[in-house]
Structure 1
């Protein structure tokens, strides 16, 4: 037992020291890289300010001299100055000319890390107007050399600290655990047999005796808790089906609720990517539902929701799943054998189903559907993004006059 605990404690100590070492190393590298990146960015911004007038007065030779100064002072792997039209204005002969794809010039310096290099894109501004762009790439090899040397020193210190701490831990632990062997044996027996009715014998009234008394009290409480827990688990098992139903189903329509919808949507997207097939999400909003609630009452609104859900379910395939997200919002998942044409047919079929009169309290309910469609993987391979795109498409359908559908991205 003592050896086992010693091995475990030494393992925990080593693991803690390794984790601390790794965290310190990562933080040290990120901090050092960020500081060098900031220094490189500051130097590039200063250079961009210096060559601004040279760009305006078309003096590439002077600009090249300015670039050469930066190249001598920093560890560069590439440097180039371009005009606002994307033409190379100046560079350094001994350094590769960095390519810059002509695009809208950024208004602020941009910094990207590529392995052991920093790439900077700095606008050359003259009176708040971009006259050109400076592209700089700086190597981090010297920084990495310093970092590796620091890691070696830290590693040596960590080894010395660990050996000293392990030796001290073993000595202290053996001395402290020797009186607890008997109590440990009882604890192992209780743990293996799950018999909390066992009790330890109190030999003396010293600290170990006090610990034994507290251990016996703990066993007594555990025995009581075990009895209560067993009773509670039996009661929960009886209510399990009901709780599961409430957690995953909408109480009004008995459709899968928003929580269940999230799981179903994630599964649909995953299956679509794994099987390399197309699937579709239809975001459905009930038009004029607020008017129904305000003028006919919420009980009439509930009847409308039930009728709409029944009609939609009657119009879809057995593999498709209709969910209620809340209020007057529904979501329809089409997981299999989906094409854009099939999706449009489904939308038209749903609109036709709801266009038939819905009578509640001897009055025809003026409700229609607005449907937004997003396809996976065509529009997105992320569940949350797919839902957002379908929601945006639904609002496009509403703005187009309601009682219609809109596939995301389609005109």
Structure 2
């Protein structure tokens, strides 16, 4: 049988069509895989940065609690002498409130510098809630570094112990669990060190709270300055040094070595070796030096996600591309006899578009108007490209949602502590330039805990959401209202206000919050105590301004609750 040039050309064109379809599918598939992996790396890095910021904010919040204890007049009085029963009770009540509002706290303690570091006041987290430890059960802690080292610190310094398994004997829930201690010196008016305030932190509980909004497929890793694994999806690999062996994060992920050593701050990579040979992962790790005095010079934080989960959409797209390519190859064989030279131009256009997409450039014009197999190929490629674009857009939307969650309280929708801190810092910076006043209202609900305890957390959540709506209803759009934890809210006024205006706002808030609310046919009554502080009259920094408003709120609590007080630095009469 003699093959003419037309048949040869048709066969050649059929082969070219099949090759073009295959290249189109290959480049599109590879491009989609690359885009998905890169997007996953960017998402993991963003999540790691957000989580690291949450850790920093959590540490700052703990330091604020330490300052509250260390600078409390009752703490100084108890360390300078036996103190009075009322001073003892005041400090115990403060520590109980801290454990109630911070589920990540194992202990809050006041320890004297003398008597071998004897504990003066101690409140533990027990199975049934905060427990005040009796005088006979108080222990000497002077031989622990968080006491001896903290006593040597200068003013406004905080000491953080090594992250380790807590083997201290006692009745609290932190025994034999991963924890760390933050301590701060307590000084008298002459600057002499009287003792230290110490908070024992639940490491696992803290990270569970910080990472609870992340997808289940994302795994968390945490290591100390030498790379010893502290948090790992496999608990058996954590705290190996506590069992006489060292298990390092850089042994599992070689790419983290420069991050652990401090040569680089961030490492984003894929791991296909060792423990991840059968299930490769995409990973993002970062480390930063600590800003407190500690034997831990830096800590490393990382997130991983299985590569299979990242490429799930790509695999489905690959099957679709393969089906399209096979179908087009079959059609090319049937239509090659009639296509001739007309086949060359549209196939080349599609191949060019595939290369442009693979290079990350616009695909250009496609012959989608044709009513033949080449048109089908062009439209299929266009749809595939649109599908890839939708996937990328979805990934970006997820990243935006993650950023939103990092700045807002998930229950009430109000700004969270991070967002509020940013707004407050910006307002103070502007106030220093103008100059003008900046006012903060610290709002703490009265009688909320009995409602939460007696009627359950679901009712408590509805109460918090209702209060949030009422607060937003009173305040203006230029004001910022935030929930910073538990039943504590803060409001930042967006414009300067006189004392009379602040009093009027506070009264409106008291009236509106005190209005009865009905939840699940239950009529609930509660109130609130409000502390008011203004820049520059009461404080010059964001931290001090918030602490002043908090102090004023406690003064309102002491005055009988359901009222407001302006910050008054004068200590109460003993």
TM-score, structure 2 normalization: 0.31
Report which of the two has the higher share of helix: 1
* Structure with greater contact order relative to length (CA < 8 Å, sep ≥ 6): 2
What TM-score, normalized by structure 1, do the two folds share?
0.43
- Which structure: larger Rg? 1
